[in-house]
Amino acid sequence: MPRERSITDELLYESQLHAARFGGPRPVVPAKHLAIVSCMDSRIDVFDLFGLAIGDAHVIRNAGGIVTDDVLRSLVLSQRVLRTREVVLVYHTDCGLQQIREDEFRAHLLAETGEEPPYAFGAFTDVDDAVRHALARVRGHAFLPHRDHVRGFVYVVETGILREVS
Amino acid sequence: MPRERSITDELLYESQLHAARFGGPRPVVPAKHLAIVSCMDSRIDVFDLFGLAIGDAHVIRNAGGIVTDDVLRSLVLSQRVLRTREVVLVYHTDCGLQQIREDEFRAHLLAETGEEPPYAFGAFTDVDDAVRHALARVRGHAFLPHRDHVRGFVYVVETGILREVS
- Write out chain B residues lying below 8 Å of A137, CB-based: none
pLDDT reading at B161 higher than 70? yes
Per-residue confidence (pLDDT) for residue B84, from 0 to 100: 98
**Number of domains, chain A:** 1
Containing structural domain, residue B97: 27-165
CATH of the domain at B50: 3.40.1050.10
Helix (H) or strand (E) holding B106: helix B102-113
Residue A8 lies in a domain: no
Can you list the positions of beta strands (E) in chain B? 34-39, 57-62, 86-92, 150-156, 161-165
Q: Chains A, B: CB contacts under 8 A, how many?
A: 249
- Write out chain A residues lying below 8 Å of B160, CB-based: 18-19, 21-23
For β-strands A34-39 and A86-92, DSSP reports them as: parallel
Residue A149 lies in a domain: yes
Determine, for residues A7 and B33 on separate chains, whether the beta-carbon distance falls below 8 Å.
Answer: yes
* pLDDT band, very low/low/confident/very high, at A70 (cuts 50, 70, 90): very high
Mutate to test the interface with A, among B6, B11, B163 (most CBs of A within 10 A): B11
Q: What is the ipTM of this complex?
A: 0.97
Q: Is B58 on the interface with A (CB under 8 A)?
A: yes
Contacts 24+ apart (CB under 8 A), B139-147: B141/B72, B141/B75, B141/B76, B142/A113, B142/A115, B143/A109, B143/A113, B143/A115, B143/A117, B143/B72, B143/B76, B144/B72, B144/B75, B144/B76, B144/B79, B145/B79, B145/B80, B146/B79, B146/B84, B146/B85, B146/B86, B146/B87, B147/B87
Residue B2 lies in a domain: no
pLDDT tens profile A17-59: 999 999 999 999 999 999 999 999 999 999 999 999 999 999 9
Per-residue confidence (pLDDT) for residue B136, from 0 to 100: 98
Can you list the positions of beta strands (E) in A14-132? 34-39, 57-62, 86-92
Which member of B48, B100, B142 has the closest CB to residue A81? B100
* Mean pLDDT across B136-145: 98
Residue A107 lies in a domain: yes
